Amino acid sequence: MIAPNTARSAYIAAFVVGVYGVLMAGLAPLLLGTLVAEGHLTAAQLGLAATAELVTMGLAAGAAGFLTERVAPRMLALASVVAIIVLDVATASATGGTVILLRALAGAPSGMLVGIVTAMIVRSAQPARQAGMYLTIQTVAQLACAALISGLVAQHHGAATGFFAIAALGVPVAIVAMGTPVRLAPFAANHGMGLPDIRGWLALAAAFCFFAGILGIWIYIEPLAHQAGLSSGTGGLAVVLALAGQVAGGVLGAATVQRWPCRVMLIGATAALIVAAAIFATLPGQTVFLATAIGFGMLWAFASPYFTRLLIDVDPTHRAAMLGSAALLLGCATGPSVAALSVSDGDVRGCLTLGTGLLIVTGGIVLLLPLLRRVGSPAFAVQSKDRS
């Protein structure tokens, strides 16, 4: 279901630009990993480049929730798509620190696009389901682009071709951006903007730690494959298959998020991801590595809509959910940043230790939240007049 007074075409346009905004996040292991292989980045710089982009994405996504109530989302979407095109073209010929700078700049318009679609999703009648659909659609797009770009890279056209391809895709997306709404509908739950209470912040912390752990591992999937003695083509295939796993996991998550027990699913998925990290640490052969990559992607995407439900369950005002994309992206930024300190050009398995630790923290927070259910909201929480 969509929010009242919002045309279906506006939702479609918002989903398209939102998917374009996160496209690079899914392709980062492939393109940035290729830059490392080409000698344009070191392994540590790979983590920093991914971090720089995701930090600015997270900050922009958080700001977008408030900015879209003051500036026309249509204008923000169009300007953001154009900025991404320009910065991707510039990245194609950059090296070293310049790549880090350009990806940091590219994160701001990307985050703005994510913030626009998030602002529309949380205003819908079924935000958890809508979030699951969005995550699945973005994964399908990332899978298709990864398959195409992986083929181009494998044919020795290099990472530059991938950045040019993403920039070219932005041209039709810019046209679609004209269909995004001029103004947003009011919240379906009749709550205004504000800050969540302590349980909302803790749920956001759980989402932050989960995605920090996941991305700390994900960004090094291709270097892990190389360290395991697998070919560069196999590393690219692992990324593609992980995205395929995300499609299956995203579909399952969207279909079940309203029916299956939220905490049980989150804890189970987190535990299974810890097992996957342990398997990666053994530097397995090709078959096991690829199978683990599929499972990793599937579990990651399956859990994602359950975090939206968790945020809404603990904070029915949807204020925590409004900040969900920011927590996700900032977590995705923090993971690679800290992981960059734990890897070397010869051994990148430190990212697995980091990811496992963050996933354990995630599980602990999810287990803790029900214990706070009887605790009243603290004085510093922003209260709504219609909240009991």
User: What's 261's domain CATH number?
Assistant: 1.20.1250.20
Cα Rg of the chain (Å, integer): 20
Backbone phi, then psi, for 238, in 5-degree steps?
-60, -40
| Cα distance between residue 326 and residue 339, in whole Å | 20
| Cα distance between residue 215 and residue 332, in whole Å | 5
Q: Residues in the chain with pLDDT < 70? A: 1-6, 152-156, 186-194, 373-388
Number of domains in the chain: 1
Q: Does residue 221 contact residue 29 with C-beta atoms inside 8 Å?
A: yes
**Does 95 fall in a domain?**
yes
**Domain carrying residue 126:** 8-372
Q: Does residue 109 contact residue 61 with C-beta atoms inside 8 Å?
A: no
**Does 388 fall in a domain?**
no
| Cα distance between residue 100 and residue 42, in whole Å | 11
**Does 81 fall in a domain?**
yes
| Cα distance between residue 336 and residue 49, in whole Å | 9
Residue type, position 202, single letter? L
**Does 188 fall in a domain?**
yes
**Does 384 fall in a domain?**
no
Tokens of 262: 């939220």
Q: Which residues contact 73 (CB under 8 A, 6 or more apart)?
A: 14, 116, 119, 180, 181, 182, 183, 184
**Does 378 fall in a domain?**
no
Residue type, position 90, single letter? A
Q: Tens of pLDDT along 35-91? A: 888 888 887 788 788 778 888 999 999 888 788 888 899 999 999 999 999 999 999
Share of the chain above pLDDT 90, in %: 49
Q: Tens of pLDDT along 81-139? A: 999 999 999 998 898 899 999 999 999 999 999 999 988 888 877 788 888 888 888 87
| Cα distance between residue 87 and residue 251, in whole Å | 32
